């Protein structure tokens, strides 16, 4: 099972322009609670028509893929 946030987090962050890409910082308490940090792989998912993205840890993506293959 993946790590979980201990409480709801709602924060505003500014998108930073880094010439060839954009950067958004993540709240430290969320990063620590989810067990991610510098060098960790994260995945953003969203479906056509969505107006938001979801962030997933690599472990969450592996679990999702395993669940799909078991179905």
pLDDT of residue 2: 65
Tell me if 2 sits within 8 A of 60, measured CB to CB: yes
Confidence category of residue 26, pLDDT binned at 50, 70, 90: very high
Distance from C-alpha of 17 to C-alpha of 54, rounded to nearest angstrom: 21
Pairing state of beta strands 54-57 and 42-45?
A: antiparallel
Percent of the chain with pLDDT over 90: 52
- pTM for the complete prediction? 0.68
């Amino acid at each position: 099972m993946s790590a979980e946030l201990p409480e709801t987090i709602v924060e505003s962050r500014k998108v930073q322009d880094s010439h060839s890409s954009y950067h958004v910082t993540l709240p430290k308490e969320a990063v620590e609670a989810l067990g991610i940090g510098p060098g960790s792989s994260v995945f953003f998912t969203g479906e056509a028509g969505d107006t938001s993205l979801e962030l997933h840890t690599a472990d969450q993506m592996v679990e999702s893929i395993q669940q799909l293959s078991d179905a």
